[in-house]
Structure 1
Amino acid sequence: MARSKLIIFDCDGVLVDSEPLAARAYERVYEKHGMSGVGADIIAQCVGMKQSDIIVRIRELTGHQFPEHADDDIWAETKILFTKELKPTHGIMPFLDSLAVERCVASSSSVERINHSLGITGLARFFGSSIYSSSMVRRGKPAPDIFLHAAEKMGANPADCVVIEDSPFGIEGAVAAGMTAIGYTGGGHTYPEHGARLTAYGAAATCANWNEVGLQLAKLGFHTEGIGAAAG
């Protein structure tokens, strides 16, 4: 029997403030292999994609062909930066503490990266084994596959799911899955047009902090007792 409500969280840029660190890792690794010019402006156009799709997109944007044998270098460099510097997004810990709703993670990152990110930031306890990666499905975001997979595994109907995403690709995928999408713009990689862009891709609302997310969830009929006060 399907549960009544489910909140699906993206990981990078939503639960953890990882995108600036990930961009730095890509830039370092590409430079290591003799390919310059892969800066934050390039990586910003890849936010929300899984690694294999990011590599393809960087090639399209810069002409750089990343060597297949070096794929593991990207996660190795990213892991070093995450271990030293990764933080949860501001206010997410009290928000999750006060959230009396079924939840899970659906991310374009690998299972190893998701677990590492949640573990070092202290967020793993909020999700247990309810972790879903694009590596588990055929197509990454903006396809709806990861969201539909997560809903099925959690026993929820897509129409009863709310997805919290920071990227246009994630919003697009959530909408394609028949779910309500909330755009989150509270990460360190946000920019002035961020909210408007997420709205253009189908976000029902955009929120700059977790207090605003709580208010939007209340409007959608989720039980949000104490969320606003805790996450402000």
Structure 2
Amino acid sequence: MARSRLMIFDCDGVLVDSEPLAAKAYERVYERHGMPGVHGGIIAQCIGMKQSDIIVKIKELTGHQFPPAAAGDIWAETKLLFSEELKPTPGIAPFLSGLAGDRCVASSSSVERINHSLSVTGLSRFFGEAIFSSSMVRNGKPAPDIFLHAAEKMGAQPADCIVVEDSPFGVQGAVAAGMIAIGYTGGGHTYPEHGARLKAAGADFICADWHEVGRQLAGLGVPA
């Protein structure tokens, strides 16, 4: 009998191809507040973090202190871009259609952003209310909190969970939670060293598309 597994998916850069759009939103908003120079290379170092941690990281990298009262501007700009341009990652809808067993989303983004992303891309139907955000736990990725929270709520043991992540921070969190980590490099923000960095973070497998994810899951006894 096949072992029951819980599939845990990151949202940004895994389910939806959002990272290039999110980086553009940060660039625009920082520029609008008189803080130029926050470019894609800087934002790339923040992938996998929640917004409050990204703002701290940008300050470390650039010296720019974003005004706390304007934090809502980042989501407003991001939401606008997502509504106009956000797409699912290539092949994810057919993959989810064929996936058996329980699945959920565990993301550093806010619940509102996750739900908007899934709605715009037509992926909401695959997850229902099985949506978990770092806003629900004390520590964001690379801490394991969000993954352990998701497993508990879904009634799964950490050792029976498989996480699909696109960021080193996310992979580190999954590994710290005692879960199998699949590093996904099929998003529009991927780069030549992407897979190697995910592997160095502890990913058990590196997959450039959903067909390869399916092959790895089959090897683990998960129908996909």
Say if 2:4 and 2:101, in contact at 8 Å, map to a contact too: no
Give the CA deviation at 1:101: 1.9
In structure 2, the residue matched to 1:109 is 109
Question: 1:103-125 deviations in whole A, cap 9, x for unaligned?
Answer: 00000000000000000100000
Displaced runs of 4+ in structure 1, greater than 6 A? none
Give the 3-state SS of the residue equivalent to 1:30 in structure 2. helix
Matches for 1:39-188 after TM superposition, within 5 Å:
39-188=39-188
Quick one: distance in 1 between partners of 2:93 and 2:199?
26
Give the CA deviation at 1:4: 2.6
TM-score (norm 2): 0.98
In structure 1, the residue matched to 2:22 is 22
Number of residues of Structure 1 aligned to a counterpart in Structure 2: 222
Give the 3-state SS of the residue equivalent to 2:26 in structure 1. helix
Quick one: distance in 1 between partners of 2:157 and 2:119?
29
Match of 2:145, as an amino acid? D
Match of 1:203, as an amino acid? A
Question: 1:41-66 deviations in whole A, cap 9, x for unaligned?
Answer: 00000000000000000000000000
Q: CA RMSD in A?
A: 0.7
Quick one: distance in 2 between partners of 1:21 and 1:138?
27
Quick one: distance in 2 between partners of 1:66 and 1:120?
28
Quick one: distance in 1 between partners of 2:25 and 2:94?
29
Quick one: distance in 1 between partners of 2:43 and 2:101?
33
Q: Mind listing any 5+ residue stretches in structure 1 that lack a counterpart?
A: 225-232
Q: Mind listing any 5+ residue stretches in structure 2 that lack a counterpart?
A: none
Match of 2:207, as an amino acid? C
In structure 2, the residue matched to 1:230 is none
Quick one: distance in 2 between partners of 1:66 and 1:106?
26
Match of 2:5, as an amino acid? K
TM-score (norm 1): 0.95
